[in-house]
Amino acid sequence: MKKLLIATCTVASLWFAGNAFAAEEAAAAPEVDMETLNLLQESACLNCHNLTPREKVETDANGLPFGPPYLLVAHRYHDTPEAFDNLLNTIRQGSNPYSKHWKEESAGIAMPPMITVSDDNLKKLLTWILNLDEAKAAAAEAALAPKAEDAKTD
């Protein structure tokens, strides 16, 4: 009887510990801002940019995305005070095709001016991008994954 009681207590404690760990892990996961992710898709940003770096694949663009991954943009510019205005200007007016400041990270194709996106939405997107970290990027990619699968089947 004593062995049965010990076994039952052990199983119960493992079950409670597992549930506590799962709850703790869920609480630690960053909240996904679906409004911003939808805006990224609607504005066609994700046609040229990835959220995180990808392995090179053989394409006409040397296996690199057209634009730099947003996580690398966040890492490079997060603590740079003038970055917001400079990047906002680049997004509004497009980039210079002869200025290759993302060498080895993107194909270096000029970014067209994003004239169809409002200033408020540009600022919202850029703020989100500059505050991106690995956890937020992973959560955002997971949220976008079902949409990407749905698009392939349409």
Q: 77 and 11 in one domain?
A: no
Q: 14 and 68 in one domain?
A: no
User: Which residues, other chains included, contact 93 with Cβ-Cβ below 8 Å and sequence gap of 6+?
Assistant: 113
Q: 80 and 26 in one domain?
A: no
**pLDDT of 42 above 50:** yes
Of the chain, the percentage scoring pLDDT greater than 70 comes to 66
Range of the domain at 75: 32-153
Q: Which range, 17-31, 50-64, 73-87, 106-120, is most confident?
A: 73-87
> Global pTM?
0.71
Q: 117 and 42 in one domain?
A: yes
Cα 32 to Cα 123: distance, rounded to the nearest angstrom = 18
Q: What is the number of domains present in the chain?
A: 2
